[in-house]
Structure 1
Amino acid sequence: MKKSSLHEDWIAVIVAFLTIVLVCSGLKPSLPKFSAWADGSSFWQQISSPSLLSQIAVLFLWAFVSLLLARYLARDAQPGKLALSLLGIVLISLVAQLITSNKTVKDLGIEVVLFSLLLGLLINNVMGVPAWLKPAIQTELFIKIGLVLLGANVIFQDVISAGGLGILQSVVVVFTVWYFSFWVCKLLKLDDEFRMMISSAVSICGVSAAIATSGAIEGDNRKLSHVISLVLIIAIPMMLFMPYIAIWAHMTPAVAGAWLGGTIDTSGAVVAAGTLLGDEALKYATLVKFSQNVLLGIAAFLISVYWTVTKKEVSADKKPGLKTIWERFPKFVLGFVLASLLFSFVLPAGTVAASKGALKELQTYWFALAFTCIGLETKFTDIFKMENGRPAMAFIIAQVFNIFFTLAVAYIVFGRS
């Protein structure tokens, strides 16, 4: 797919807000759900459920109508080819969800997007992507729709009511870790796109931050997929070992939770790690993670303005004005912020409570489809050989700094809680 454009950004915002209107009006699609399974019997019970086929049909139709509307607005609708291709991508994503529902995998807190990415990589690198599967590979569009929907689940009151300490830690950690990561990337001579994406991924909220930053700077999809792979892979050992380090160090639940929430880069992994330490630690982990999610929209806005003013191809004597900044600014970031403001301050509390769950499910599926597409567009050789391993080295160094710095801040902010 071609690089993101203003037109595509508006399309993503339109599709996402139509989704929000429908869900808030009471139209909540019954999407496929798999409960935890541990053996062959429970596995077959899952996939032979009479309701599963209808749920798959609902998911496909919802995604197909959204994609068809998007392509129609872009004057590039090809219903037949899109339907067949999207069906294949949806089925791959559902296999990823089924794997994630395995009891062992579920207990680890590994999210569906990781397996969506891995399955896409497996198909692309082992068999190759068949021509019929390519028309619906719309990675950037799926990501932007998902990000706007993510804004509906970032509720400012939830963060404020939980206390200002989490916000304080998040602000200090995000800005400090971001600048340290940027400095490390510059030291390793990575280009500006890598610097921005890695710095945002490590400091803010992992995958979502990398995606938002890439959209804001019109980044290279190969670089984005590389950063996403690093986030997901490195989050796994952090999720497994950090809770036990917290226990060994006799951290209080508040400090341990704030440490986990401020360093682990995926929400599912934060919840899994926090659960190992009990409800109190989980509360603080969720608070800090949520506070960092709130900063995503602000960070994406600032990065967009900075990139437009300083990095776009303009003559030295003609810096872009407000009109140029508006034209180049990624509109899906505004969609994210508007959705968050809408659900935080405008809609009735009952409507917000009733619709958040369905919107979260749809957001998860859009991201799962996007990650499947990323895998289908990426070669393993690109991941492990890109820039001679320097992005991976920069990410790991920045993440190690993040772990120690966030721990120090957590002790200062929550040490007496």
Structure 2
Amino acid sequence: MSSQVKKIDWSSLWKKEDWWALWIGLLIFILSLPGYYNTYILGWVPRVAAPWLNPLKSIVVIGQALTMTKAYVGLNPVISVFLFYLFLLTILTIAAWLMGHNVSRFMAGFTIMFTLTFVLWWLFGYAYLNATPDQYAKLHITWSIPVGSDGILIYLLLVGLIISNVVFYRKLPAVFEIGARTEWYIKTAIVLLGALIGATSLKYITLAVTLVERSLIAIIAAYLIYWPIAYLLSYKVFKLDIKWAATLASGVSICGVSAAIATAAAIGAPSVIPATVSSIIVLFAVVELVILPFAASSLLKWAPYAAGAWMGLSVKTDGAAAASGALADALISAQPGLSTYKGWILSTAVINKVFIDIWIGLWAFILAVIWLTRIEKKPGERVPAIQIWFRFPKFVLGYLATWLLLWGVGFTVGAVSAAKLMTGGITPQTELFRFFFFALTFMSIGLTTRFKTLKEIKAGRMVVSYMVSLIIIILIALGLSIAFFSNLSPPT
């Protein structure tokens, strides 16, 4: 025990990406907190107003979109983008320097990454390239490639793959590899995800007690039913390595990309595993978004709440789950006699997804303990408790902190008023950074993924395993949704 304690190196607090994801995520979160009092320190950040049709209105300054402030009215969106770049470049470069990276090379690599990611985010935000059918009437269009906002991540991934495997098919320039810090970006995004979960759960927890109570089934479904099935299928049937199987099981069962990354960190999986699984998750989430809402509008028009629950229990990323819920809501509430359900189907989808997301941190801790005390433990070996601390992914602490802090505020001043102020003041700022870090992640995954490597790790077998697990989960989710949500009375 004493020899283990002597090996503790506290310099990891400023030398490891895991910790820097936590520090940067918390910094952005703390800077957003004055938004609760209508003071927007980060109000200058830009957002691509996807789906957009008019290029002149395609980029919005967050502070200008918030009606409670006039501090950023005169800020040009182009200047806003430049300030956004400088802010991220500064904080990330300081972290890179303290971690021992070459500063000039990192600055060059990140500049390329930022430029590629933001330009492509803007380009693929064009309505005809991402709008979902429920948005057609508002946009006055009749068709699009209906992938939704999460579909923009797929575009980024594909462009990255083309650059990596076609444009530079022999060898990717080092400057791209230096800027493509996949795990750092996604871990920072997960810290900020806690703010979204905290604010959203407060918003919906007061919506209807019955919906919230029945949505508790989402926790049981995801962690005690979905996960074991997906894990056993991957490990026993498709013969995937145990770390591949565990990461894939979390991705297909819980919160998609965020759960896969947290699981991989908790069990000590190499970076290629969460990167590959994340790509598969987002790809299939877009497929779910295109198919499931239309299936729900046909199969479950007699049980609208069940349709929403089905979306929340089945679709694996937050954005796609919300988009599928919105689309199912639009399709079902437009039918004769069902207009009273408008908004409630989407709310049911979001509530179920939020209840699943909340427990990512606890699940990462449980898996870290299991891996150290059961899977990796040698016969007769005693595992010191400090090793669990080392293995536990530190960025998950940031996720828990942002979520619990907003919940603490909510239960202090009242959930309804707190949720209103948070979703109107705090989360618009944190959400912009969260989405952009996710965008950087998928750009990075594309740039660092070589088709040759996918062949070597037999990714095809993993895709089939994920697809089979997902189909089984979708069918179980349909049964659970009908069992728990089909007998609810219409909203009044």
TM-score w.r.t. structure 1 length?
0.90
Which residue, out of 158, 171, 185, partners 1:142? 185
Which residue, 342, 356, 370 being the options, matches 2:427? Answer: 356
Larger helix percent: 1
Question: 1:46/1:273 Cα in 2 relative to 1: closer, same or farther (>3 Å)?
Answer: closer
Q: Is the 8 A contact 2:204 2:347 kept in 1?
A: no
Task: Tell whether 2:77 aligns with 1:27.
Answer: no
Higher relative contact order (CA 8 A, sep 6+): 1
Higher gyration radius (CA): 2
In structure 2, the partner of 1:411 is 482
For residue 156 of structure 2, the aligned residue among 113, 116, 119 is: 116
Superposed displacement of residue 388, structure 1 = 6.0
SS of the equivalent of 1:134 reads helix
Aligned to 1:183: 232
For 2:299 and 2:58, how far apart are their aligned partners in 1?
A: 41
Residue of structure 2 equivalent to 1:322: 385
Q: In 2, are the aligned partners of 1:262 and 1:288 still within 8 Å (CA)?
A: yes
Kindly state the Cα deviation for residue 272 of structure 1 after the two structures are TM-superposed: 2.3
Separation in structure 1 between the aligned mates of residue 402 and residue 428 of structure 2, nearest angstrom? 15
**Residue 317 (structure 2) aligns with:** 266
Shift of 1:283: 1.2
Check if 1:277 corresponds to 2:322. Answer: no
> Are residue 161 (structure 1) and residue 185 (structure 2) matched?
no
Amino acid at match of 2:249: S
What amino acid maps onto 1:103 in structure 2? A
CA distance in 2, matches of 1:172, 1:377: 34
Q: Is the 8 A contact 1:173 1:406 kept in 2?
A: no
The counterpart of 1:67, out of the listed 57, 69, 92, is: 92
| Pair 1:16-2:15 in alignment | no
The one-character-per-residue Cα deviations of 1:81-133 (angstroms, maximum 9, x if unpaired) are 22221111011111331233121313221423222222211211112232333
More displaced stretch, 177-186 vs 131-140: 131-140
Deviates more, 1:369-378 or 1:321-330: 321-330
Q: Which of 292, 314, 339 is matched with 2:356 structurally?
A: 292
Query: Contact 2:265 / 2:392 at 8 angstroms: preserved in 1?
Result: no
Q: 2:258 aligns with which of 188, 208, 224?
A: 208
Tell me if structure 1 keeps the 8 A contact 2:46–2:80. Answer: yes
8 Å CA contact retained: 2:96, 2:106: no
**What's the offset of the Cα at 1:386?**
3.4
Quick check: 1:401 aligned with 2:464?
no
SS in 2 for 1:153: helix
Matched residues in 2 for 1:36 and 1:236: separation?
16
Say whether residues 1:79 and 2:103 are aligned partners.
Answer: yes
> In 1, are the aligned partners of 2:50 and 2:149 still within 8 Å (CA)?
no
* 1:34 Cα deviation from its structure 2 partner: 2.8
SS of the aligned residue for 1:33 comes to strand
What is the rounded CA distance, in whole Å, between the counterparts of 1:377 and 1:229 in structure 2?
A: 12
For the 8 Å contact 1:89–1:133, the answer to whether it is kept is: yes
Q: How many Å separate the matches in 2 of 1:209 and 1:259?
A: 19
Q: Which is further off, 315-324 or 151-160?
A: 151-160
CA distance in 1, matches of 2:300, 2:184: 45
SS in structure 2 opposite 1:319? coil
1:343 partnered with 2:394: no
**Who is 2:131 aligned against?**
106
Return the alpha-carbon distance in structure 2 between the equivalents of residues 258 and 71 of structure 1.
43
Match of 1:380 in 2: 451
Tell me which of 48, 51, 55 is aligned to 2:80: 55
Corresponding residue to 1:220 among 267, 270, 281: 270
Tell me which amino acid in the other structure corresponds to 1:245. Answer: A
CA contact (8 A) 2:304 2:486 kept: no
CA contact (8 A) 1:28 1:358 kept: yes
For residue 16 of structure 1, report the CA deviation from its aligned partner.
1.6
Distance in 1 separating the partners of 2:255 and 2:214:
18
Q: 1:167 to 1:58 in 2, by over 3 A?
A: farther
Q: Residues 346, 75 of structure 1: CA spacing in aligned structure 2 closer, same or farther, 3 A cutoff?
A: farther
- What is the CA-CA distance between 1:305 and the residue it aligns to? 1.8
Q: Cα–Cα, structure 1 residues 277 and 307, in superposed 2: closer, same or farther, change >3 Å?
A: same
Offset, 1:148: 0.9
Q: Superposed, which structure 2 residues align to 1:223-234 within 5 Å? A: 223-234=273-284
Report deviation, 1:384: 5.8
TM-score by length of 2: 0.77
The 2-side partners of 1:402 and 1:16 are apart by 32
- Are residue 95 (structure 1) and residue 119 (structure 2) matched? yes
* Correspondence for 2:194 among 129, 151, 168: 151
How far, CA to CA, are the matches of 1:291 and 1:170 in structure 2? 6
Cα distance between partner residues in 1 of 2:458 and 2:395: 30
Unpaired segments ≥5 residues, structure 2 = 1-11, 35-39, 62-74, 133-145, 330-342
Q: Secondary structure at the match of 2:457?
A: helix
Q: 1:246 aligns with which of 296, 299, 323?
A: 296
CA contact (8 A) 1:100 1:106 kept: no
